[in-house]
A and B are shown apart, each in its own frame.
Chain A
Amino acid sequence: MNFYKDHYDVIVIGGALAGMSCAMSLAKEGKDVLILERHNLPGGMATSFVRSGMEMEATLHEMMSLGLKEDPLYIRKYLDEMGVVIDWLRVPEAYRLLSHPDGIDITLHAGRRPDGTWVCADEIDMIYSGTKDEINRLLELCRSIYESVLFLNEHKLSKVEMLLKHEPLVKTAGYSAKEVLDSAFDLPLAVKKILSAYWIYVGQPMSSLPFTIYAFLMADYMMGGSFVARGFSHEMSVAMAEKCEELGVQFEYGQNVEKILVKDNHVYGVRTSRGDEIHCDYIASAPYPNTVYGKMIEPQSEVPKEARQYANAMPMSVTNFSVVLLLDKSPEELNIKDYSVFSSDIPFDTDAFWAEGKKIGGWNYLTTICLNYANPDCVPAGMTSLSITYLPLPEAFLNLKADGYFAFKRKVAREMIDRVSKHLGVDLKEHIQEIEIESPVTMSHYTSDYRGGIYGYQHSMDNSVVGRLEDLEKEFYIKGLVGCASHQLVGDGMACNINNGRIATKAILEWMKEAE
């Protein structure tokens, strides 16, 4: 029985956002594409699950770079161009930062006015008066870098042109977010802390987070705001999967790719756990380079020395620990007032938070999301959908054992719930109707991603996006094979992964052109 064609132009390993965006874009160019996804759902981590008839968001997910319908940003433009229709709901506020030790309790909203002033600058100025000009200047700098990055996503420029046309990007590219904030802006420490809250969405402390990434993130969140799909992340994933198939992509679930077949430094196919050997000219791979070079390439003698060095050098970014709760009272009754709260129990310090992620538990910086405020119909009336998340480093979990695993998960989850309960003044444990605890093992189980990583490699100063971009083409160590997930150029995040997929598409289309 033949379930596959004899040959495909491209096989995409992994039907998550990057893989689907890559497949869609290729199919749109008339290419013959096969997606092999090991799970029975599309979307990778961008998914949901149902308990007792109620749907829950699997992890913390917001779509960025959409902008409003009338003022679309690049992801909305891309989805429109592909014909992907998703029922987006705008997240009400950017975030609330709650740090009692610093005396900080502030809620910020997205929005930039035509005169170049920002809503959040006024909000901060209300408490820390006299700071709004500097905040506006910082956010305008962020915006200019955001625009430059998007421009460079589509165009190539010489170094001189770069300096002439994208000076702010060039001049900040060599610095961390902390360096730029400290050297070029005159802001009180508390305000800098407030403007650092989003560090966790990259999982990199301010001292090693490239300013380029910080700027992109801040402009993105603070300009267009963020969105969730009415039908949870799964709606977005299914909408994209449907579009892939409509464009002629063959999309097969439940197929685990075990081997990537290589001959004379060029890929020619894959082999699945089922035993199917399927041939193709190009492969876009969601598995991390560590897994690809470490055990998927067959024969292993085809792995170049440089590829091994690359995989060994890349510093793993964070993984995920989440507690997802359905509570039997409304948010108001539970004293939950915001969609998104970052909270700290120690003086706000991203280096200290990040270091805590090297150990299990004792995490002081938590992200609490109450989905009701973005999507009021996500649960029956009188109930609350709440998640609590911390993003620790995989290294914290390397000695974990299967024995005692359930108890371990509960112990960590209980600590996280208790912390949030303390902030709310309500013991959430008394209201749990459904609970799911997701550890790095859960991430690994559903995606098989290397060490349960969710954010790819660290966006650190020695693994900066600027350096990644500069050497992008040199790092295609095996011909016809391109990475296609958050371990690639742009890094983590749903919008970023759509972009990672498009970058993979571009590489493949260029190779195809060369081959002709």
Chain B
Amino acid sequence: MKVKGFLQDVLGASRVTNARRNLIKNASVLNVYSDPIREVAKEVHPEPFKVTVVSVSDASPTAKTFRLKPLAGKLPPFEAGMYVSFQDLKIGNTVTTRPFSISSAPFEARSEDPFFEVTIRKGRDNGFVSNYFYNEVREGDEFTVEMPFGQFFYEPMRDAKNVVALAGGSGITPFVSMAKEINHGTLDMDLTILYGSVSSKDIILKDVLDQVQSERVKVVNVISGEEDYDGEKGFLRAELIQKYSKGDTSYFVCGPLPMYQFVRGELAKLEVPEKRIRMEVFGAPVDITKAEGYPECEAQTFKLTVVRGIHEDVIEASSRESLAVAMERAGIKNNTRCRSGACGYCRCKLLDGDVFVPTVGDGRRYADKMYGYVHACSTYPLSDCRIKIVIK
């Protein structure tokens, strides 16, 4: 066997070894570390950071808009429809997190005077955190947030250019963000928002919705509880959806859980293909006992052992609340983000015990199910349990 001649072949190994030694020997002795790609990654996906409330305004008789600015530095770019996660919310003895869709536009977050807004209606999600925001949060308050997250945004390669938004309650907020971005000329889509409310008083961000109407943005309020309302009445029914759709249309749905179920059925009537329907995650079920497959059992309190490194805590956990909520009540921070079972950020190991995980919205990986990993925000204890979580 020869490549180029015996001697040359045999000496080849030393040749490449020497080439490498020379490469190293001739290199600079200075610290020239620089990683511009990492810098972009940190700007696009920053670590949790501090923001302050710069203004609070009424968005409806029962909802407020909070404008927030970073204490220092920039806000990350995001896509209209994404959400922010408020971290370390201390309410009583509880330490919790909450996701809120961003109701301001991406371009506003990247302007000279960067800010973002969330619009929160009191009473949402059992009202625990939304009431806190509505009643307690004032200008000058500081929060730690992490952003942006979520899959609920317009993707031009996937979605039809014509989008019909089906919104209910505070589910209007991601569409307000989209509408503003469209009018700013930085989001190339046509948007018709069908916004269902019980009465015209319930319309959140009414003034803003009036303002964003344009050549490409249309807002149609659909009122279900006012006989004499001058406009579209009733629910977001198939006929109504049909009326405002033109040609190839994508449907973006955001609102309370019962609305999802209703709208799903209506879209099915219209034979809308799956890829033309985008649903925002809808949060934890208000009543877990209503979830499909939940076993018949009395409300009970179990012992939950929480392992963090070599440290263990034993706390109480209600069968009616998720493991994440049990930990939050005990003041143990854990990594919840979407709080809907989808994002997997609160993934933890179930070391022992029986639990219930609702099938709807179960975003776990195949192997995680196999090996007993659960998402704490969507896992409910059915016995004493032992879990290992991320040290926060």
A: residues with CB less than 8 A from B are: 1-5, 40-41, 48-51, 53, 55, 141, 163, 167-168, 170-175, 179-180, 183-184, 210, 229-232, 234-235, 237-239, 242, 250, 252-255, 273-274, 290-291, 293-295, 300, 303, 305-306, 308-313, 319, 328, 394, 397-403, 405-406, 410, 413-414, 417, 429, 431-435, 440-442, 444-445, 448, 450-452, 461-464, 466-468, 470-471
Given A41-B347, A467-B17, answer yes or no on A312-B32 (Cβ-Cβ < 8 Å): yes
By the criterion CB–CB under 8 Å, are B36 and A400 in contact?
A: yes
Residues of A within 8 A of B44 (CB): 402, 405, 441, 445
Asked if B329 is at the interface (CB within 8 A of a chain A CB), the reply is no
Residues of A within 8 A of B344 (CB): 40, 49-50
Give the docked Cα–Cα distance between A451 and B41 (Å): 10
Give the docked Cα–Cα distance between A235 and B369 (Å): 10
Residues of B within 8 A of A231 (CB): 365-367, 370
Give the docked Cα–Cα distance between A442 and B38 (Å): 9
Those of B341-392 within 8 Å (CB) of chain A: 342, 344-345, 347, 362-368, 370-371, 373, 390-392
B: residues with CB less than 8 A from A are: 1-4, 8-33, 35-38, 40-41, 43-45, 47, 76-77, 79, 110, 151, 155-158, 273-275, 308-311, 335, 342, 344-345, 347, 362-368, 370-371, 373, 390-392
Given A252-B391, A431-B275, answer yes or no on A464-B20 (Cβ-Cβ < 8 Å): yes
Q: A23 CB to closest chain B CB, in angstroms?
A: 16
By the criterion CB–CB under 8 Å, are B311 and A1 in contact?
A: yes
Q: A300 CB to closest chain B CB, in angstroms?
A: 7
Give the docked Cα–Cα distance between A476 and B347 (Å): 36
Task: Name the one of A174, A237, A242 contacting B9, with C-beta atoms under 8 angstroms.
Answer: A174
Residues of B within 8 A of A435 (CB): 155, 157-158
Q: B190 CB to closest chain A CB, in angstroms?
A: 18
By the criterion CB–CB under 8 Å, are A254 and B27 in contact?
A: no
8 interchain pairs, CB-CB under 8 A: A51-B151, A141-B1, A303-B31, A400-B40, A414-B157, A445-B41, A445-B44, A448-B38
Given A4-B309, A401-B40, A429-B157, answer yes or no on A466-B151 (Cβ-Cβ < 8 Å): no
Nearest 9 A/B pairs, CB to CB:
A174-B12, A294-B33, A3-B309, A467-B20, A313-B27, A231-B367, A235-B367, A254-B390, A171-B9
Given A184-B2, A432-B275, answer yes or no on A313-B26 (Cβ-Cβ < 8 Å): yes
Give the docked Cα–Cα distance between A344 and B258 (Å): 50
By the criterion CB–CB under 8 Å, are A402 and B76 in contact?
A: yes
By the criterion CB–CB under 8 Å, are B29 and A309 in contact?
A: yes
By the criterion CB–CB under 8 Å, are B1 and A167 in contact?
A: yes
Given A232-B366, A429-B157, answer yes or no on A313-B43 (Cβ-Cβ < 8 Å): no
In the complex, residue of chain A having the shortest beta-carbon distance to the beta carbon of B278 = A52
Q: A295-B33, A308-B30, A433-B158 are in contact. List 10 more A-B contacts (CB 8 A).
A: A50-B365, A239-B371, A274-B391, A313-B23, A313-B24, A400-B40, A401-B40, A441-B44, A467-B17, A467-B21
By the criterion CB–CB under 8 Å, are A462 and B274 in contact?
A: no
Give the docked Cα–Cα distance between A237 and B27 (Å): 37
Task: Name the one of A170, A253, A291, A413 contacting B157, with C-beta atoms under 8 angstroms.
Answer: A413
In the complex, residue of chain A having the shortest beta-carbon distance to the beta carbon of B309 = A3
Task: Name the one of B4, B28, B37, B335 contacting A440, with C-beta atoms under 8 angstroms.
Answer: B37
Give the docked Cα–Cα distance between A179 and B27 (Å): 27
Give the docked Cα–Cα distance between A440 and B39 (Å): 12
By the criterion CB–CB under 8 Å, are B373 and A238 in contact?
A: yes
Give the docked Cα–Cα distance between A463 and B21 (Å): 9
Q: B29 CB to closest chain A CB, in angstroms?
A: 5
Given A309-B24, A463-B20, answer yes or no on A168-B310 (Cβ-Cβ < 8 Å): no
Give the docked Cα–Cα distance between A394 and B37 (Å): 8
By the criterion CB–CB under 8 Å, are B40 and A441 in contact?
A: yes
Residues of B within 8 A of A403 (CB): 77, 110
Q: A204 CB to closest chain B CB, in angstroms?
A: 14
Residues of B within 8 A of A184 (CB): 1-3
Give the docked Cα–Cα distance between A347 and B157 (Å): 29
Residues of B within 8 A of A414 (CB): 157
By the criterion CB–CB under 8 Å, are A410 and B156 in contact?
A: yes
By the criterion CB–CB under 8 Å, are A462 and B20 in contact?
A: yes
Residues of A within 8 A of B37 (CB): 319, 394, 397-398, 400, 440-441, 444, 451-452
By the criterion CB–CB under 8 Å, are B41 and A441 in contact?
A: yes
Task: Name the one of A53, A229, A397, A406 contacting B79, with C-beta atoms under 8 angstroms.
Answer: A406
Residues of B within 8 A of A254 (CB): 335, 390-392
In the complex, residue of chain A having the shortest beta-carbon distance to the beta carbon of B308 = A3
By the criterion CB–CB under 8 Å, are B36 and A466 in contact?
A: no
By the criterion CB–CB under 8 Å, are B273 and A291 in contact?
A: no
By the criterion CB–CB under 8 Å, are B29 and A305 in contact?
A: yes
The listed residue with most A CB atoms (<10 A of its CB), out of B25, B26, B28, B38, is: B38
Residues of A within 8 A of B43 (CB): 402
By the criterion CB–CB under 8 Å, are A308 and B31 in contact?
A: yes
